[in-house]
Amino acid sequence: MTFHINDAPRPQPSTPNAPHTPVSPVTEPISFVGSPPVEPQYTYSPFIELDRSTWSRLAHELEQPFDQSDVERLRGLGDKLSLTEVAEVYLPLSRLLSIYVDATAKLREASNKFLGESTRRTPFVIGVAGSVAVGKSTSARVLQEMLRRWPNTPRVELVTTDGFLYPNAELRRRGLMERKGFPESFDRRRLLRFVSDVKSGVPEVRAPMYSHLTYDIVPNQQIVVRRPDVLIVEGLNVLAPPRPRSDGTSGLSVSDFFDYSVYVDASYDAVRKWYVNRFMELRSGAFANPDSYFHRYSALSDDEAIKTATGIWDRINGPNLVQNVLPTRGRAKLVLTKNEDHHVKRVLMRKI
292 is in an annotated binding site: no
Buried b (16+ CB within 10 A) or exposed e, 122-159: bbbbbbbbbbbbbbbbbbbbbbbbbbbebeebeebbbb
Give the bridge partners for 208, in sequence order.
222
In this model, does residue 9 exceed pLDDT 70?
A: no
Specify the 3-state DSSP secondary structure of 324: helix
Higher pLDDT pick, 121 / 1: 121
Q: How far apart are the first and last CA of the chain?
A: 41
| The pLDDT value given to residue 23 | 43
Give kind and range of the element (H or E) at residue 304.
helix 302-312
| The pLDDT value given to residue 18 | 47
134 is in an annotated binding site: yes
DSSP assignment of 178-189, as one string? Answer: GGBTBGGGB-HH
Measure the CA–CA gap between 77 and 18, rounded to whole angstroms: 27
Q: What is the DSSP letter of 65?
A: -
Look at the alpha carbons of 191, 194, 195, 200 in this order and tell me if their dihedral is positive or negative: positive
133 is in an annotated binding site: yes
The residue ranges of DSSP E strands in the chain, in sequence order, are: 47-51, 124-130, 156-160, 205-211, 216-225, 230-234, 260-265, 334-338, 344-350
In this model, does residue 4 exceed pLDDT 70?
A: no
Measure the CA–CA gap between 210 and 194, rounded to whole angstroms: 15
132 is in an annotated binding site: yes
Residues 6+ positions from 61 with CB-CB distance below 8 Å: none
Helix, strand and coil content of the chain, in percent to the nearest 5, comes to 40, 20, 40
Question: What percentage of residues in the chain have a pLDDT greater than 70?
Answer: 88
Q: Are 26 and 47 in contact (CB under 8 A)?
A: no
135 is in an annotated binding site: yes
Mean pLDDT on 150-178? 95
Specify the 3-state DSSP secondary structure of 349: strand
In this model, does residue 308 exceed pLDDT 60?
A: yes
For the domain 49-155+262-350, what is the CATH code?
A: 3.40.50.300
In this model, does residue 7 exceed pLDDT 80?
A: no
Q: What is the DSSP letter of 177?
A: G
Residues 6+ positions from 268 with CB-CB distance below 8 Å: 11, 12, 13, 14, 15, 18, 318, 321, 322
Measure the CA–CA gap between 81 and 88, rounded to whole angstroms: 11
Specify the 3-state DSSP secondary structure of 308: helix
In this model, does residue 10 exceed pLDDT 50?
A: no
| The pLDDT value given to residue 33 | 52
131 is in an annotated binding site: yes
Tens of pLDDT, residues 220-244: 999 999 999 999 999 999 999 988 8
Measure the CA–CA gap between 328 and 186, rounded to whole angstroms: 17
Buried b (16+ CB within 10 A) or exposed e, 261-279: bbbbbbbbebbbbbbbebb
Of 257, 238, 230, 226, the C-alpha closest to 163 is 238
| The pLDDT value given to residue 36 | 59
Q: Which of 33-37, 75-79, 175-179, 309-313 has the lowest mean pLDDT?
A: 33-37
